[in-house]
């Protein structure tokens, strides 16, 4: 059978509206950036991938794309080899405002690997889950991702969510997001207001949602001492405490002193972090993310690693569109030991703003049904892609910088951890 090789790779940066969500390093800008990757074969099969849209990352994606012509899309190892040969230029490009410092080559490989899996699935007429060993669940549960937030972007009207400044407003946000999407697990993005206020918000959530698993994630904004204090106070309340403090050594000190499991998407973000984290017994749960673990195949390898060391597995998210949600859903569906509800920023985007044809992915009772159509099961909406690309060209943002945007309104803001 003749091999259908990669003929062309298109990378299209897009921008979509994002509310002013607060985190430990600042606030989300009015637009989030993503890169839409299309890998096209000689026979005209197109596979889709989605990744960060920061300028330095786009540049790396484009350089990698030039190396992929002629490669067999079933040979992801060869694609990985070519990506790893590229020189790393500059730092950053992680789409997280510097919060998640993952391996550059894995970040670059990820959307090409996903697009190749989409091609493979389309070619053989099977969903991506089948290429990953088959789905072990037909719906994937996600968590409500709650944020402190401004009422609206400065100079604009109040957005549809309004402000979230204190416990009452966080509970109101949770009620609304749960009503609209049906989530069960609730995650609060912390590291924004003094820890005692965030503890009060978690307690208020517990009172309002007695049966929901709760998590808080201050993105390492707390000292070891503060983390231990918070973890002790919230004994029996949290299902896990996510990245309270920076680094494996600090996390290990916290882990020894608090009763609940610690989870991370900050101190273990690549395979060579696993061994020191296990040796120090620093974390009990790793949050995978195919966007920086090198794609779906390597995320499955991470799942096996977690199984080997008796670690739990959850899933991290950043602001994203539908191609990413499809890939996250396929991965979670085909990963037996991914037993926690996955993070998603999905509710925060405008629901009619995306690059995919609507209808393929829907939240019901906090979960997304796993697509069963060939490949990822989503189709590119070319008009929408063109609109969001135009928005990218005119929005004036070329890299995510939550700190600079926040400082524009609070000069002197210093996100250097520990803030508390």
List residues with catalytic annotation: 189, 316
Contact between 227 and Mg ion (CB under 5 A)?
Answer: no
Residues in 180-219 at the binding interface with Mg ion, rule: CB under 5 A: 217
The Cα 200–Cα 190 span in angstroms is: 12
By CB under 6 A, the count of residues binding ligand GKR is 13
Specify the residue, 79 or 188, whose C-beta has the smaller distance to Mg ion: 188
CB 27 within 8 A of CB 402: yes
Contact between 219 and ligand GKR (CB under 6 A)?
Answer: yes
* Burial class for 127, CB neighbours closer than 10 Å (0-12, 13-18, 19+): buried
Q: How far apart, in Å, do the first and last CA atoms of the chain sit?
A: 62
Residue with tokens 């979509």, as numbered in its chain: 16
Contact between 189 and ligand GKR (CB under 6 A)?
Answer: yes
What string marks each residue from 102 to 141 as x (binds ligand GKR by CB under 6 A) or -? ----------------------------------------
Can you name the residues that pair with 187 across neighbouring β-strands?
A: 145, 215
To the nearest whole angstrom, how small is the minimum distance from the Cβ of residue 64 to Mg ion?
27
CB 161 within 8 A of CB 19: yes
The Cα 167–Cα 198 span in angstroms is: 8
Contact between 99 and ligand GKR (CB under 6 A)?
Answer: yes
CB 119 within 8 A of CB 46: yes
Give CA separation, 267 vs 41, 108, 358, in Å: 38, 20, 36
Q: Which does 317 bind (CB under 5 to 8 A by kind): ligand GKR, Mg ion, none?
A: ligand GKR
Task: Work out which of 15, 76, 83, 100 binds ligand GKR, going by CB under 6 A.
Answer: 100
For 221, phi then psi, to 5°, come to: -85, -10
Contact between 290 and ligand GKR (CB under 6 A)?
Answer: no
Contact between 344 and ligand GKR (CB under 6 A)?
Answer: no
The Cα 94–Cα 266 span in angstroms is: 12
Contact between 102 and Mg ion (CB under 5 A)?
Answer: no
Among the listed ranges 55-63, 111-119, 316-324, 371-379, the one in contact with ligand GKR (CB under 6 A) is 316-324
What string marks each residue from 4 to 23 as x (binds ligand GKR by CB under 6 A) or -? -----------------x-x
**Nearest Cα residue to 150 out of 187, 192, 191, 195:** 192
Task: Work out which of 265, 288, 329, 403 binds Mg ion, going by CB under 5 A.
Answer: 265
To the nearest whole angstrom, how small is the minimum distance from the Cβ of residue 289 to ligand GKR?
8
Backbone angle region of 197, left / alpha / beta, with phi > 0 → left and psi within -120 to 50 → alpha: alpha
Among the listed ranges 53-61, 92-100, 121-129, 351-359, the one in contact with ligand GKR (CB under 6 A) is 92-100
Contact between 265 and ligand GKR (CB under 6 A)?
Answer: yes
Residues with Cβ within 8 Å of 77's Cβ and at least 6 positions away in sequence, in order, are: none
Binding residues (CB under 6 A) for ligand GKR: these are: 21, 23, 96, 99-100, 189, 217, 219, 265, 316-319
The binding site for Mg ion (CB under 5 A) comprises 217, 242, 265
């Amino acid at each position: 059978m003749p091999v259908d090789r990669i003929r062309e790779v298109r990378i299209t940066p897009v921008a979509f509206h994002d509310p002013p969500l607060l985190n430990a390093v600042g606030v989300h800008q009015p637009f989030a950036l993503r890169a839409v990757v299309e890998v096209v074969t000689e026979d005209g099969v197109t596979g889709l991938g989605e990744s960060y849209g920061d300028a330095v990352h786009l540049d790396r994606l484009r350089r990698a794309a030039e190396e992929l012509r002629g490669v067999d899309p079933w040979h992801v190892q060869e694609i990985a080899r070519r990506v790893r040969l590229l020189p790393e230029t500059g730092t950053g490009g992680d789409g997280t405002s510097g919060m998640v410092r993952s391996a550059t080559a894995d970040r670059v490989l990820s959307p090409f690997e996903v697009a190749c899996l989409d091609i493979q699935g389309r070619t053989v007429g099977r969903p991506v889950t089948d290429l990953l060993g088959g789905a072990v669940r037909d719906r994937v549960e996600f968590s409500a991702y709650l944020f402190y937030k401004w009422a609206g972007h400065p100079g604009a009207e109040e957005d549809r969510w309004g402000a979230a400044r204190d416990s009452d407003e966080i509970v109101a946000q949770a009620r609304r997001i749960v009503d609209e999407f049906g989530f069960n697990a609730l995650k609060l993005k912390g590291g924004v207001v003094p820890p005692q206020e965030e503890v009060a918000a978690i307690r208020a959530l517990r009172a309002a949602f007695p049966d929901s698993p709760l998590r808080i994630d201050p993105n390492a904004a707390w000292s070891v001492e503060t983390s231990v204090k918070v973890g002790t106070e919230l004994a029996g309340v949290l299902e896990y405490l996510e990245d309270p403090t920076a680094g494996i050594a600090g996390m290990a000190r916290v882990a020894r002193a608090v009763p609940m499991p610690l989870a991370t998407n900050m101190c273990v973000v690549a395979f060579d972090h696993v061994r020191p984290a296990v040796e120090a017994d620093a974390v009990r749960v790793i949050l995978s993310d195919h966007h920086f673990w090198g794609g779906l195949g390597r995320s499955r390898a991470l799942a096996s690693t977690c199984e080997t060391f008796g670690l739990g597995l959850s899933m991290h998210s950043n602001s994203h569109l539908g191609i990413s949600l499809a890939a996250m859903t396929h991965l979670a569906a085909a990963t037996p030991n991914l037993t926690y509800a996955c993070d998603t920023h999905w509710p925060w985007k405008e629901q009619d703003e995306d690059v995919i044809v609507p209808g393929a992915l829907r939240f019901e009772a906090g979960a997304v049904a796993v697509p069963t159509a060939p490949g990822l099961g989503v189709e590119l909406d070319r008009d929408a892609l063109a609109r969001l690309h135009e928005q990218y060209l005119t929005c004036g943002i070329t890299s995510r910088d939550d700190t600079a945007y926040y400082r524009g309104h609070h000069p002197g803001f210093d996100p250097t951890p520990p803030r508390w």
